[in-house]
Amino acid sequence: MKTGDTGIKRILKAFVYSYDGFKEAFKTEAAFRQELLLCAVLFIAVFFVTEDITQRLFLISSLFFILLMELVNTAIEAVVDRISDEKHYLSKKAKDVGSLMVLTTFIYAAIIWGNVIWTNFI
């Protein structure tokens, strides 16, 4: 499915594909919409939690990591569903591991946020 485009044209098309991916995830994935809202609220909270730039970067990166893993999970689920809708052990495994990636990222973010809040307020 390569188009043969190079240079700036390829880069511009990549942005269009990314925008299409964002629209599709937002439109079809309730979890992505919920996590996007949570991350937007927490992004604003970052500026009230700490003034330290390093801590802010850790907090913000943990939020992006949540969204990133949700998108990876969505991609895994789409590929599995595209291959077959029949129940299969490997399909379940792929989807369960994708879900675990998202959960692990939430735990990571909670540890980061907890540490920064503990450091600054307790």
Contact between residue 84 and residue 91 where contact means Cβ atoms under 8 Å apart = yes
Alpha-carbon distances of 104 from 13, 33, 99, rounded to whole Å: 32, 19, 9
Amino acid identity of residue 114, one-letter, is: G
The active-site residue, picked from 24, 35, 51, 70, is: 70
Quick check: helix, strand or coil at residue 5?
coil
Q: Is 70 a catalytic residue?
A: yes
Active-site residues: which are they? 70
